[in-house]
Amino acid sequence: LSPGEKMGCFTFIKVMMILFNLAIFLGGGTLLGVGIWVTVDVQSFLDIFGALSSSVLQVVNVSYFLIVIGAILLVIGFLGCCSAQKESQCLLIMFFSVVLIIFIAEIAAAVVALVYTSLAETLLTAVVTPVLKEKYGADNSLTHIWNVTMTEVHCCGLNNYTDFTDSPWHKEHNTYPEFCSVRGSLPLACPHVCGCLLQGCFAQILKEIRTHAGVVGGVAAGIAALEIAAMVVAMYLYCHLDQK
Per-residue pLDDT of the chain (244 residues; tens, 9 = 90+): 556 666 778 788 888 888 888 888 888 888 888 878 777 776 666 565 554 444 444 444 567 777 888 888 888 888 888 888 888 888 889 889 988 998 898 888 777 767 766 666 677 778 788 888 888 988 887 888 888 878 777 788 888 888 888 899 888 888 888 777 655 444 444 544 544 555 788 877 777 767 766 776 777 788 888 888 888 888 888 888 766 5
218-236 burial: b if 16+ Cβ within 10 Å, else e: eeeeeeeeebeebbebbeb
Distance CA(77)–CA(94), nearest Å, equals 12
Secondary structure (3-state) at 165? coil
The one-letter amino acid code at 8 reads G
DSSP state of 61: -
Cα-based angle 146, 71, 98 (whole degrees, multiple of 5): 125
Residue 181, φ and ψ in degrees, nearest 5:
-120, 145
Bridge partner residues of 196 (DSSP): 181
Pairs from 186-195 (Cβ < 8 Å, separation ≥ 24): 189/160, 189/161, 190/161, 193/161
